[in-house]
Amino acid sequence: MKIKKTRISNFRLLKEVELSFDNKSTVIVGRNNSGKTSLTEIFRRFFSESNSQKFRLEDFSISAIDNFRQALTRALAGEEEDIIRDLLPKIELQLIVDYDDDKTDYGVLSEFIIDLDESNTEAIINISYQLKDGKIKAFFYDLDDPNSLDFLIVIRERILKFFTTEITTIDPTDDTNITRVDQNKLLELIGVDFINAQRGLDDITQSEKDVLGKVLSSIFKSASHENASEDMKQKSKELKEEVDKIQETVDKELKEKIDALLPTLEIFGYPGLSDPNLTTKTTFNAETIVESNTKILYDKSDGITLPETYNGLGSRNLIFILFKLFEYFRKYQSNPILIKNHLVFIEEPEAHLHPQMQEVFISKLYSIADTFSNDLNNGVKWPVQFVVSTHSTHIANEADFDTIRYFLTKNDGNLTETEVKDLKEAFKTGEDTEDKEFIYKYLTLTKSDLFFADKAILIEGATERILMPSFIKKIDNELENKLSSQYLTVLEVGGAYAHHFYKFLDFLNLKTLIITDLDSTEPINTESGIRHKACITSRGKGTSNTGLTKWFDNLLEPTSDSEPSILNQIQLKTFEEKELESRRISYQIPEGEHNPCGRSFEDAFMIANKILFGITQNNTSAIESEAYEQAEKLKNKKANFALEYALEKTEWIIPLYIKEGLTWLSENNTTNQTAEENDD
């Protein structure tokens, strides 16, 4: 059985989201405060075996809290209880599961299958935190003003008292056919475990036995369970027998010595105190020994063993994750009723891991589950699905595109909510295949942080990349929203490839500036036909920049000699026409009226800084030609050129097209990044 999809309502930033799960591993990415942690937390709350993980008023989405007021208003107006109950918010987690692989052995799954369609292999499980039946009057007792200052104070207390978790199964073929199910049945069907982001491995106040010892203790417990495999039970039995031998030695040899250390009560001289002779008994428990006294050591080739803490945090983190996975696998094995699905959430596995280790981790994660199944479970598959939330560009870019779910926040008036996007769905048409393949290869090679940045800049080449920090430093002196204080990512993509990113950037809803070149060309007649040759802008008719033509794809008209050329049409585009969705394109423009226009960054930079480059002509055409010729001489020296003006000659002016673009980029995002505290 696999969990195909989940729908979440009214939990923190997750006002109304839908998320599909990959059959093996799902990777959750997104900017800070986008709701990633809330996904893990709602599963933790609903699948906790104790009642201590109750929801609070603060766990409801902000818009849902207003529904409490609306419900009270209706209650005061004497509305029917059904109407009031529909208004009262509830936190919901809905799971859509596919049981095609379990059709021969439903087991506890049969409790959740209520449809009569033999061809259907889906079940819908709804878990809801809602007001108990018959408690509307008690919930609103003595409340008469939904806008009073103490309304939320009272509601906060009553949620804990009158709300409960209810589990139902819904007929996929008839959503009016609903049956309640006991919570224990849900826990027998689906197991949920967590490897938290804060693992305590870097806490110098906590010894290694406290962290890894607890994991070993859990593994020991599962090995001792009556439903554990025979080899596990045998090893557990042998360990207990060894502890019993120690117990016998203690009873015989240590008791007398310890008793001698005790004070004699007779010295107090009070009647009766000497009667109860004190004695001692020291007992050992195998489980306690494993948890409190077992350390991980590393055996060196020279026979010396080193403490677990002597190894790097990265290695310890990886070992901890492996131990936890092994613990959860053993727990699954020893369960008297084998669960049909095991969901394991792993938060920020990248902690302390160097980049290569991060990439290996995500690529090998499901192989670990397969190894456990094949080597330790007689080939019987461990029905596990992993959900990995990460801030690592290396994990995100190494993961298969189809497994990535992107979390971002969106504004609806004064409310901030999470939206979940599925890359698999965004690039599922045939025409998107080329873009998808290119982006995946690019991200894998460059380890770009597009998934996590607040804003992005796409540039042509090395010259712009080297000079970009200088551009930002200079323009920040004129900006209210400093770019240097924002999470920017810069990608070197080139004009020929920038268009592959357009749909991807729209998918990310990432405010992006594309800085590119006009790359003007003129038609030249040759023996083999018309060839388009690079030329100064004033002589140009077209452009060799695919990124530009794709940007204005539907806005450029076919031309003839009497009509504006393609290049001229591009040059005439207004500031507003250069903006699409959350992205904007910037290319060379004149520095002012009656000024020439550059073809590339280099000649545009020279035109903006004529004196610096010894361009003394006053004639527009002459200035353009001189700058173009100087730029042509830099073809194989562009990096040196950029370094010179980034490090040595730093008194210069930013070309206008770049200045305009960076100013636009500095302005507030299209989405609000402010979200609820601790809602990562």
Lowest-pLDDT range, 3-12, 13-22, 203-212, 340-349? 203-212
Residue type, 109: L
Most confident of 214-228, 264-278, 389-403, 550-564: 389-403
More confident residue, 48 or 387: 387
Predicted local confidence at residue 137, as pLDDT: 95
User: What is the rounded average pLDDT of the residues 118-128?
Assistant: 95
Average pLDDT over residues 44-49: 89
CB distance 649 to 605 below 8 Å: no
Strand partners, 129: 91, 165
Whether residue 47 is predicted with pLDDT greater than 70 in this model: the reply is: yes
What DSSP string describes 174-240? EEEEEEEE-HHHHHHHEEEEEE-S--STT-TTS-HHHHHHHHHHHHHHHHHSTTS-HHHHHHHHHHH
Higher pLDDT, 206 or 355: 355
User: In sequence order, what DSSP letters do the residues of 560-573 get, joined into one string?
Assistant: -TTS--HHHHHHT-
Q: What is the pLDDT of residue 432?
A: 81
R_g (Cα) of the chain, nearest Å:
34
Band (pLDDT 50/70/90 cuts) for residue 596 is very high
- Written as one letter, the residue type at 576 is E
Q: Is 344 helix (H, G, I), strand (E, B) or coil?
A: strand
How far is the C-alpha of 672 from the C-alpha of 663, rounded, in Å? 19
Per the listing, tokens 């597009």 go with 450
pLDDT of 576 over the 80 cut = yes
pLDDT of residue 269: 46
pLDDT at 624 over 70: yes
Q: What are phi and psi of 593, to 5 degrees?
A: -65, 140
Least-confidence region, from 98-107, 384-393, 543-552, 638-647: 98-107
What's the mean per-residue pLDDT of the chain? Answer: 85
In 428-541, beta strands by DSSP E: 455-459, 488-492, 511-515, 520-526, 529-534
- 636 pLDDT band, cuts 50/70/90, is confident
Residue 265 pLDDT exceeds 50: no
| Distance separating alpha carbons of residues 607 and 619, to the nearest angstrom | 12
Contact predicate 362/25, CB 8 Å: yes
C-alpha 95: how far from chain center: 20
The predicted pLDDT at position 51 comes to 58
What is the distance between the alpha carbons of residues 664 and 583, in angstroms, rounded to a whole number? 10
- Look at residue 204 in the predicted model and tell me its pLDDT: 46
- In terms of average pLDDT, the best of 13-22, 412-421, 668-677 is 13-22
pLDDT tens digits along 380-414: 899 999 999 999 999 998 999 899 999 999 887 67
Q: Quick one: which of 349, 43, 388, 331 has its CA closest to 198?
A: 349
CB 164, CB 148: distance < 8 Å: no
- Mean pLDDT score, 45-66: 85
Three-state DSSP class for residue 534: strand
Res 600: pLDDT? 96
Q: What pLDDT sits at residue 526?
A: 84
Can you tell me the mean pLDDT for 481-494? 93
pTM of the predicted structure, to 2 decimals: 0.83
Top-confidence residue, 343 or 267: 343
Q: What is the DSSP string of 301-335?
A: TTS-EEEGGGS-HHHHHHHHHHHHHHHHHHHHHH-
Query: H or E segment at 92?
Result: strand 91-98
**What distance in Å separates the CA atoms of residue 546 and residue 496, rounded to the nearest whole number?**
5
What would the pLDDT profile of 167-220 be if each residue is shown by its tens digit?
Answer: 999 999 999 999 999 999 999 999 999 998 765 555 544 444 456 656 666 666
- For the cut 90, the answer to whether the pLDDT of residue 313 exceeds it is no
Q: Is the pLDDT of residue 38 over 90?
A: yes
Higher pLDDT, 178 or 427: 178
**Coil, helix or strand at residue 246:** helix
| pLDDT score, position 201 | 52
Lowest mean pLDDT among 19-23, 81-85, 299-303: 299-303
Question: CA 419 from chain center: how many Å?
Answer: 12
Paired tokens of 252: 């015989």
- Residue 448 is predicted with a pLDDT of 86
- Residue 423, token pair as written in the block: 């890359």
Beta bridge partners of 181: 167
Q: Is 507 within 8 Å of 451 (Cβ atoms)?
A: no
3-class DSSP assignment, residue 10: strand
End-to-end CA distance of the chain: 29
| pLDDT band of 494, cuts 50, 70, 90 | confident
| Residue 488 pLDDT > 70 | yes
Residue 455 contacts residue 669 (beta carbons within 8 Å): yes
Check whether 559 has a pLDDT greater than 80: no
- CA of residue 334 relative to chain centroid, distance: 32
Q: Is the pLDDT of residue 464 over 90?
A: yes
Predicted local confidence at residue 300, as pLDDT: 55
Q: How confident is the model at residue 258, as a pLDDT? A: 55
Q: Which of 245-259, 295-309, 514-528 has the highest mean pLDDT?
A: 514-528
For 645, the token pair is 């003006």
Dihedral of alpha carbons 623, 628, 630, 631, sign: positive
At residue 206, the pLDDT reads 47
DSSP codes of every residue in 371-433: HHHHHHSTT----EEEEEE---HHHHHHS-GGGEEEEEEEEETTEEEEEEEEHHHHT-SGGGH
Asked if residue 320 lies in contact with residue 215, where contact means CB atoms within 8 angstroms, the answer is yes
Asked if residue 620 has pLDDT above 50, the reply is: yes
Tokens at 628, concatenated: 């173009």
* Cα 493 from Cα 501, distance rounded (Å): 9
**Residue 16 predicted with pLDDT over 70:** yes
- Quote the CA–CA distance of 172 and 176 in Å, as a whole number: 9
